[in-house]
Amino acid sequence: MKYHATVASLAQDWSDNIATREVIEHRANFWTDPRALNPDRGAGEVIAVRWDRDAAKLVDWWKGSPAHDAMLRDPRFNVIGVGITFTDGNWQTTPNRYTMWGVVNLFGYSTLPAGTVSSPGGSTAPKPPTPPAASLCDPIARHQPPTLNLANAAIRSAGDLVAVDPYGTLRDYPALGGGKFGAARTVGKGFTGAKELFVADWDRDGVFDVVAQQLDGRLLVYPGLVGGGFKPAVQLGGTGWQNMTMAVGTWCGSNRLPQVLATNSTGQLFFYRNLGLQAIGAASSLGMTVPARRLAMVDYDADGLQDLLAVESNGYLRLYRGSGLPAPKAETRPVVGTGWTDYSGLRSLRDVTALNSTGIAGLTADGKVEYWDLGSGKLSTFTTVATGWGGLKLAQ
């Protein structure tokens, strides 16, 4: 983690702001501020307050909160800015005026901004750079999704296993932690005619949705409801999708909306931009061929960017590392596994074995779900996490 004075000025400004107003709240769209220096690998913010002005305990509180600690440890972030504000409050007479307010902004950059240093004291605040040229990865809007209680939602977490049976009944197997999953919950019906299903928060409203690649050529999204179930399907694509091999995930480093990567019958790789709950963006050729019978998107090497895994007809699992931009990194594509044609579906999962853990699950022909942990930045030995899935299709 590095330090930048300009980023620190952003954090300090907000710390002063909330201390003056005596309100604990996050700054909306803080990553769009020029002082954020155009992060392209994500952004985060943590806030804490204290009565005793003990900075070490402020940090301990963040570390003791699983959600805050996960943000501080997010591998995407490599530059930090810290703002601390002291006031004359006391808990007896000014119960909302804490004596110490702390704000930390964290940003991820593919290339560190000029003026970045290892620690405070050696950086001056340069003029913010000119915004980068427009990219297919640019989001249609930047906003922070709400943090919702998903206890009643159809899909409760990014670690849940989701499957559909031959009658179109959608089942959710909730992640329980420690590599365990709960009993199946019926969470939807009418999911018939699908070649593949994908789980993603497509519209980034804080609730997981289901994207359906239909055998009749349509591409649909079923927006999830926080109270359970799904809204009626919205058509993203009209024709031709039955011939594509596709993956859905947060491919772009600077855009947390899920995007689509897909290959056609000749293996040409295309990028499709997410435009929200309307027709998906036009196909953009990435100028490369990916011979694959199945694709999966996951942060394989734990660098904070999604990577593409391609299952080839010979069973090889080949890695195409993400760059945060539409095209994968230009490098040698290593084979990271063999025998992967045994899987009829692959799903990227988070928080299955531990908070912020990453892995990939595969459904075998004999109805077993095998989970591969990627905590070390490479495939480990799989564990069988479910059996009796014969006849089910694993949502990816």
Domain 2-117 and domain 161-394 have a common topology: no
Q: Using CA atoms, how far apart are residues 26 and 86, in angstroms rounded to an integer?
A: 18
Find the DSSP H helices in 3-101. 5-21, 55-64, 66-72
d(CA 245, CA 274): 17
Q: What is the C-alpha to C-alpha distance for residues 276 and 209, in angstroms, rounded to an integer?
A: 12
- In single-letter form, the type of residue at position 210 comes to V
pLDDT, tens only, 166-180 = 999 999 999 999 999
Cα angle for residues 27, 30, 35 (degrees, 5° grid): 130
What are the structural domain ranges in the chain? 2-117, 161-394
pLDDT digits (tens, 9 = 90+) for 235-284: 999 999 999 999 999 998 778 899 999 999 999 999 999 999 999 999 99
- CA distances 186 to 162, 352, 386, Å, are 10, 21, 17
What pLDDT tens digit does each residue of the chain (396 aa) get?
899 999 999 999 898 888 876 778 887 778 888 899 999 998 999 998 887 778 788 788 888 888 888 888 899 999 999 999 888 766 555 555 677 889 999 999 999 999 899 888 755 555 555 555 677 888 777 655 667 899 999 999 999 999 999 999 999 999 999 999 999 999 999 999 999 999 999 998 999 999 999 999 999 999 999 999 999 999 999 999 999 999 999 998 778 899 999 999 999 999 999 999 999 999 999 999 999 999 999 999 887 789 999 999 999 999 999 988 899 999 999 999 999 999 999 999 998 998 878 999 999 999 999 999 998 888 988 999 999 999 999 999
**Local structure of residue 341 (DSSP, 8 states):** G
Instruction: Name the CATH topology of 161-394.
Output: Neuraminidase (2.120.10)
**Whole-number Cα distances in Å, 315 to 291, 304, 335, 374, 383:** 11, 27, 10, 19, 19
CATH, range 2-117: 3.40.33.10
